[in-house]
Chain A
Amino acid sequence: MASADDLIRVYERRLADFEARLAAIEHRDRQRPAPSASQASSPRQGAGGYRLGVDVGGTFTDLLLLDEKRSRLFAAKVPSTPSDSSIGVLDGIEKICREAGIDPTEIDDVMHGTTVATNTVLTKAGARVGLVTTKGFRDVLQIARSYVPGGLGGWVIYNKPPPLAPLELTIEATERIGADGSVLITLDEAALRRDLADLGRKGIEALTVSLFNAYVDGRHERRIAEIARDVMPGIPVSISSDVIPEMYEYERAETTVVNSYIKPVVSKYVHNLERELSDKMSGVRLHILRSDGGLSSARSAMDSPVNLLMSGPAGGVAGALGIATHAGFSKLLTFDMGGTSTDVALIENGLPQTRRETRVGDVTVRAPSIDVRTVGAGGGSIAYVPELTKALRVGPQSAGAAPGPAAYRKGGTAPTVTDANVVLGYLPADSKLGGDMTIDRGLAEKAVQTIADALGLGLEKAAEGVINIVNENMCGALRLVSIEQGYDPRDFALIAFGGAGPLHANALAKLINSWPVIVPPGPGVLCAYGDATTRLRNEASRTLVQRLDSLTDAQALAVLAELEEEAHKALASERVKVSGQETLYQIDMRYSGQGMKLTVDATPADFRAEGLAGVARRFDRMHEQLFTFALDAGHELVGLRAVALGPRKPFISGALRRGGADPGAAAAHKTRVFVADGWRDAVVYDRSKLEAGNRMAGPAIVVEMDATTLILPDCAGTVDDYGNVLIRPIG
């Protein structure tokens, strides 16, 4: 890549700044007693008492080291090494251990959020997957759900991407399981062996078995997997009854195929990483962050990589949760805005909302994930004006890292959101702080002028329009996770991170009335922070579609107890004592005849006390909250799940020196920003010099190593004890 040198230079500059800041934090830490949070709960029993969070992004690998014994934390940033990410991770570990003055062997646990699964899907770099279906269903992926996106007439321009398991590599097994789990046709093994051998000769790299009704009974799938291991040893096999034993043949097949598709890449990566880590740090446990915010062992990550597609964003949500909880906020909207897209999620009472499906690009799989909604709006989103309608559109096309926004002088000429921010002065071109990319105001103006001309507006008004439109798009995503789910955003705080989040958060908060805006310290390492502080978690589930009244409490409890034991066992294998585990039951249900399902949570104690009738009552309340009505129709059970959770992690943060309200000492220089009606004077603050209690009245800009925060007029940002900037309207 042509810009690799640039990136390295930028990274080196950033790193130097970051190290300076870390040194400052450490210096302060030494002068203070350890925060009381360390007494919150017992740390792990490991030898060294160090936990490491690692987040591998497209450009940087972020690391965060928690010293649980002495309540210290360290952060480091190294460039990512896309050809083999483990190199970057090891570089980072070496660096952070040097900073902390410890030996790598003192680290007990490495908690890792990774985008390797997502990127494999997005870059179409996965395996050549063969698929075995039941006879009669070979086109299950080709037909999918027959859905054509777009409105009336959308089919005129729709071109469908080919399935991830190509039709020429799909074979049919003669076999059939009934909807009640009975075997209607026994598996024809001889024919299958021949067809599998054929597939093997075509050079498949992974195999999926997804048979009709296998969600009820997976015996034929398991048998086919055995035969496949015999016929094509070494080819990884995924079977749908293992990966996602849920009804709906297309969704189950797609999910299992995606699992196969990313399995070789993810397995190789996790396996290498685990080996390298063990070499350097014997006895270390590697955990991978799952899409649902839980952690899985390296082994289960390799078996079910489809559960890792949202691993990266889940770390951000976990980090946001950790930071905000300690700042005293339990109802949160998270807002992570990057270069090409924005992820938002809702956290209520300290629990992120989850859903049973995950979307990456045009691929949707049935795998539980934190309900993160992504919109194609980021700093690099390109603004344009269609000739015919003269409307202003922003995105989803993005200038990406190359050629990038015009202001970055890397050859980009199309006007982007970043360019609009530069024109308006929100990203100060004259700032010497932050070690950010060089910003060329002239190029940004030139790019945005094309929009201004097409709309017949002034330069600043056009730039403001671009910002307003992109904010509106992101607002739509925030509405989907809040209002559409029956939550009022006015009850929530908005926590902003990612490179561009803090720049847009104040404006978004005004749109949806979510206050305060929380900008955590080091918005760029928040994901790694989340990785490091995540609880171990495991779950076991069973699909059980039947009328609620056809099941007794005792029967349901028996199944749940079985699942509970299974989930506990899996977690125990990761060295979490069963006595230290917490359990949560989840009951998927709906009104008999509905297609969706809602998940009702209940502690085992709740369930024993209230039984299925209590679950039904909770369901009615949820349905009413979500959809404004409940029905007197019968309830239907869809599935049962037991979730086992490891102990909560103590909170550690670099604490700040307390200062007065006056932020003057952190003021770097004056600048001008364009807001609403015209240009106004504003102050640029150096975040590393801010002290707890400082209050900055807008318009103001706070610059730090990896992000820029904009505080609008009539708002003010105060710094709390944990270094968060909290923005609220004045008065």
Chain B
Amino acid sequence: MPARIVEANPTSFKRVAVDPITLDIVENALRNARVEMDAVLFRTAMSPGIREQHDAFPLIANQEGKMVVGQFGSFLHGFIAGYDGTIEDGDVFITNDPYSCAGAVSHLNDWLLMMPIFLDGRLVSWAAMFGHMTDVGGKVPGSLPTDAKMIYEEGTIVPPVKIFRNGELNQDILRIMLGNSRMPHWNRSDFFAIVAALRLAERRVRENIARFGVDTYISAMWEMLDRNRRAMAAIIRMIIPEGSHRAKFEDWIDDDGMGNGPFKIACTLWREGDKAIFDFDGCDPQSLSSINFLLNEEMFKMFFGAFTINLFDPQILFNDGFYDLLEVRIPAGCILKPRKPAALSCRTHMLGRIFDLMGGLLGQGAPEALNAAGFSDSPHFMYSGFNGKGEWYQLFQIGFGGIPGRPAGDGPDGHSLWPAFTNVPNEFLEAYFPLRILEYATLPDSGGAGLHRGGNGITIAYEMLEAGEISIHDDRWFTYPWGVNGGLPGMRSSKTLVRKNGRKENIPSKCDRIHVEPGDVLHFNTWGGGGWGDPLKREAEKVAADVARRLVTADGARRYGVVLTADGRVDKAATEILRRDMAASRGPASLFDRGFKSIAELRGRCKAETGFEAPREPRFMAHYRTAAE
């Protein structure tokens, strides 16, 4: 039963003509509001995850719940359709339950706040924001247990409830939520920071209505949605060929942290008239542990739109208007649409991998949209325990890696694929956590060779100063970030723990509660971006410059067919010969270079290359397999 919206004023909005200039001005006013929401949040939040790394996402939607400004698209429609209760002036809703909001948030750490904005007795807009809380309870610090089999092990589930009613904070609910967190102070501050951002959006919306009139404001938002729809219709026609050709692509996440893997996601893309269809038939069924990703179909549409619109009008205020031009089919019970109570906490790898999948799909129809595989993840490092004074410390940190080679140019080294994310300064880490950072640098040669080089990954060396536990959530240690158009794959990730006594331990990509002692050093190497285009065509001088910058080694330069003299200059004659030989001996370049022939072949050399046994072929519960197929 859908929510009942309580409006004192029953007058419906009139769609009025909005001249293009007013439209652009409303658009700018909303854009400014969104920037202000971010500014307020980042300045007042406390957890490094939100404050320094900006793991939080705001939106403003029209009264129907369609996003007019934001990043991840609107989930409000799903909420309104599924909420059994009233929506009234002065309400603010909170939830972290992916299964109650169709995956609007995809694990319990994300607290989603939604605020209907009323004016003169009518619902005129929505503001919403979700942010990643450092800890929401559950079995492990950070609330991201690799081995969880059900969502109940991952923290406190809060179905959609009114955290504010008639403008009054429901202290009791907040107390329960904070009472289940290992870091209540951070959560509390982050919560109020989000509320402050929503209040600000509310003020801006009301000011805009005062300025333009309510019908003009509402109509302008409709018009903005329509404008996006028109633009996206043109883009879809441009980059997705119509007809019998169907683009297919598949990619993997490597394992589930329990020794099983890889897990496949697959998608087929085609166009029927104006409508593009993404069909995820062929994905693996849901996993028995926490790597499942409940992918909201609408959110996927937004990923697609944002990914492509940047190529055409980066200034546009991107919104939901084009959703009916896309159809997204995800079979229930598959790893992208798991059934409750499947565990979800470690969905970050699948979420990131969706971008590689999309690039691979679209690139087949539109070379200008074809990027290599990039840093399609947000690997986590967590470290917690009691310090010498008996105080609890708990760090949650996101890692960064190589942006892929792209048509636009080389991929930046050690950067973020996610908007607004920034790293935590190492001096901050040392000042606030029992850690010493011995190295923080890019990894030479980790970016795939190409006409446009893939960005390098990062190597971080953490020295632990207190006894405690670390958890790691990472991926791409088994499969490679692939290259395209002749570009080579990037280097995979790896982690080594060097104990104080000098013993080296190879640390798996996904693990929890590894005990550490003072003096132990963890070397965390993230992966590079794939290369774009033929490396043999990269200007030799550029390769020499990369070597001088220690981004590529002299040996690594040979992947570009470039030979350097002892003092680092291009040896022209030797380079010419090497390039000729390499060109002759390699076969014709394939569109994608995955770095392996088949998963079986990759398994065969896994132990020798990574030190780990190859992951076991996943086994799925029969009823999910049936559902997924």
Chain A residues in 8 Å Cβ range of B71: 151-152
B235 at the interface (CB under 8 A from A): yes
Rounded to whole angstroms, the CA-CA distance of A179 and B189 in the bound complex is 26
Encoded as 1 (CB less than 8 Å from any A CB) or 0, chain B from 426 to 468 comes to 1110110000111111100000000000000010010000000
Contact indicator B442/A139 (Cβ below 8 Å):
yes
Contact indicator A156/B29 (Cβ below 8 Å):
no
Chain B residues in 8 Å Cβ range of A87: none
Contact indicator A139/B32 (Cβ below 8 Å):
no
B599 at the interface (CB under 8 A from A): no
B573 at the interface (CB under 8 A from A): no
Encoded as 1 (CB less than 8 Å from any B CB) or 0, chain A from 155 to 187 comes to 111111000001110000000001100001000
Encoded as 1 (CB less than 8 Å from any A CB) or 0, chain B from 288 to 307 comes to 00000000000000110011
Q: Report the stretch among B258-266, B381-389, B404-412, B480-488 that lies at the interface.
A: B404-412
Rounded to whole angstroms, the CA-CA distance of A593 and B436 in the bound complex is 19
Contact indicator A457/B20 (Cβ below 8 Å):
yes
Encoded as 1 (CB less than 8 Å from any A CB) or 0, chain B from 230 to 257 comes to 1100110000000000000000000000
Chain A residues in 8 Å Cβ range of B6: none
Encoded as 1 (CB less than 8 Å from any B CB) or 0, chain A from 562 to 585 comes to 000000000000000000000000
Look across to chain B and name the residue whose beta carbon is closest to the beta carbon of A593.
B46
A402 at the interface (CB under 8 A from B): no
Contact indicator A157/B311 (Cβ below 8 Å):
yes
Chain A residues in 8 Å Cβ range of B303: 152-153
Shortest CB–CB separation between residue B381 and chain A, in angstroms? 14
Contact indicator B441/A137 (Cβ below 8 Å):
yes
B40 at the interface (CB under 8 A from A): yes
Q: Report the stretch among A274-282, A462-470, A705-713 that lies at the interface.
A: A462-470
Chain A residues in 8 Å Cβ range of B313: 386, 388-389, 391
Encoded as 1 (CB less than 8 Å from any B CB) or 0, chain A from 687 to 710 comes to 000000000000000000000000
Partner of A155, one of B199, B415, B426, B442: B415
Rounded to whole angstroms, the CA-CA distance of A454 and B45 in the bound complex is 44
Encoded as 1 (CB less than 8 Å from any B CB) or 0, chain A from 121 to 153 comes to 000000000000001111110110111101111
Partner of B189, one of A146, A155, A469, A631: A631
The B29-55 residues at the A interface (CB cut-off 8 A) are 29, 31-32, 35-36, 39-40, 42-48, 51-52
Rounded to whole angstroms, the CA-CA distance of A160 and B44 in the bound complex is 29
Contact indicator B310/A148 (Cβ below 8 Å):
no
Shortest CB–CB separation between residue A638 and chain B, in angstroms? 11
Shortest CB–CB separation between residue B363 and chain A, in angstroms? 11
Shortest CB–CB separation between residue A249 and chain B, in angstroms? 5
Q: Report the stretch among B140-148, B469-477, B548-556 that lies at the interface.
A: B548-556
Contact indicator A479/B32 (Cβ below 8 Å):
yes
Shortest CB–CB separation between residue A363 and chain B, in angstroms? 16
A43 at the interface (CB under 8 A from B): no
Q: Report the stretch among B333-341, B416-424, B603-611 that lies at the interface.
A: B416-424
Shortest CB–CB separation between residue B524 and chain A, in angstroms? 13
Contact indicator B43/A627 (Cβ below 8 Å):
yes
Chain A residues in 8 Å Cβ range of B311: 156-157
- CB-CB under 8 A for A473 and B28, given A155-B374, A179-B427: yes
A476 at the interface (CB under 8 A from B): yes
A234 at the interface (CB under 8 A from B): no
Interface range, A side: 35 or more
Shortest CB–CB separation between residue B460 and chain A, in angstroms? 10
Look across to chain B and name the residue whose beta carbon is closest to the beta carbon of A511.
B211
A393 at the interface (CB under 8 A from B): yes
A714 at the interface (CB under 8 A from B): no
B89 at the interface (CB under 8 A from A): no
Rounded to whole angstroms, the CA-CA distance of A153 and B304 in the bound complex is 9
B392 at the interface (CB under 8 A from A): no
Chain B residues in 8 Å Cβ range of A386: 312-313, 315-316
> How many CB-defined contacts (below 8 Å) exist between A and B?
253
Shortest CB–CB separation between residue B203 and chain A, in angstroms? 8
The B174-200 residues at the A interface (CB cut-off 8 A) are 185-186, 188-189, 192-193, 195-196, 199-200
A533 at the interface (CB under 8 A from B): no
Contact indicator A595/B52 (Cβ below 8 Å):
yes
Contact indicator B412/A148 (Cβ below 8 Å):
yes
Look across to chain B and name the residue whose beta carbon is closest to the beta carbon of A594.
B46
Rounded to whole angstroms, the CA-CA distance of A155 and B32 in the bound complex is 22
- CB-CB under 8 A for A461 and B21, given A139-B441, A142-B442, A631-B189: yes
B95 at the interface (CB under 8 A from A): no
Shortest CB–CB separation between residue B189 and chain A, in angstroms? 6
A212 at the interface (CB under 8 A from B): yes
Contact indicator A153/B427 (Cβ below 8 Å):
no
Chain B residues in 8 Å Cβ range of A1: none
Partner of A593, one of B31, B43, B189: B189
Shortest CB–CB separation between residue A121 and chain B, in angstroms? 21
Rounded to whole angstroms, the CA-CA distance of A136 and B436 in the bound complex is 12
Chain B residues in 8 Å Cβ range of A484: 36, 39-40
Chain A residues in 8 Å Cβ range of B185: 593, 633
Shortest CB–CB separation between residue B546 and chain A, in angstroms? 9
Contact indicator A158/B422 (Cβ below 8 Å):
no
- CB-CB under 8 A for A158 and B428, given A142-B442, A629-B192: no
B81 at the interface (CB under 8 A from A): no
Rounded to whole angstroms, the CA-CA distance of A623 and B458 in the bound complex is 37
Chain B residues in 8 Å Cβ range of A136: 437-441, 461
Partner of B306, one of A137, A151, A213: A151
Look across to chain B and name the residue whose beta carbon is closest to the beta carbon of A162.
B549
Chain A residues in 8 Å Cβ range of B400: 143, 146
Shortest CB–CB separation between residue A168 and chain B, in angstroms? 4
A235 at the interface (CB under 8 A from B): no
A545 at the interface (CB under 8 A from B): yes
Rounded to whole angstroms, the CA-CA distance of A413 and B148 in the bound complex is 64
B318 at the interface (CB under 8 A from A): yes
Shortest CB–CB separation between residue A170 and chain B, in angstroms? 8
Contact indicator A143/B423 (Cβ below 8 Å):
yes
The 7 closest A-B pairs by CB, nearest first: A136-B439, A465-B21, A167-B549, A152-B306, A179-B430, A168-B548, A145-B422
The contact sample of 19 A-B pairs, CB cut-off 8 A, is A147-B416, A148-B417, A151-B71, A152-B71, A152-B306, A166-B549, A179-B436, A184-B436, A248-B427, A249-B426, A388-B313, A389-B312, A390-B230, A468-B25, A469-B24, A593-B189, A595-B428, A626-B43, A629-B195
Binding site for A on B (CB under 8 A): 19-21, 23-25, 27-29, 31-32, 35-36, 39-40, 42-48, 51-52, 71-72, 185-186, 188-189, 192-193, 195-196, 199-200, 227-228, 230-231, 234-235, 302-303, 306-316, 318, 369, 371, 374, 400, 403, 406, 408-410, 412-423, 425-428, 430-431, 436-442, 458, 461, 545, 548-551
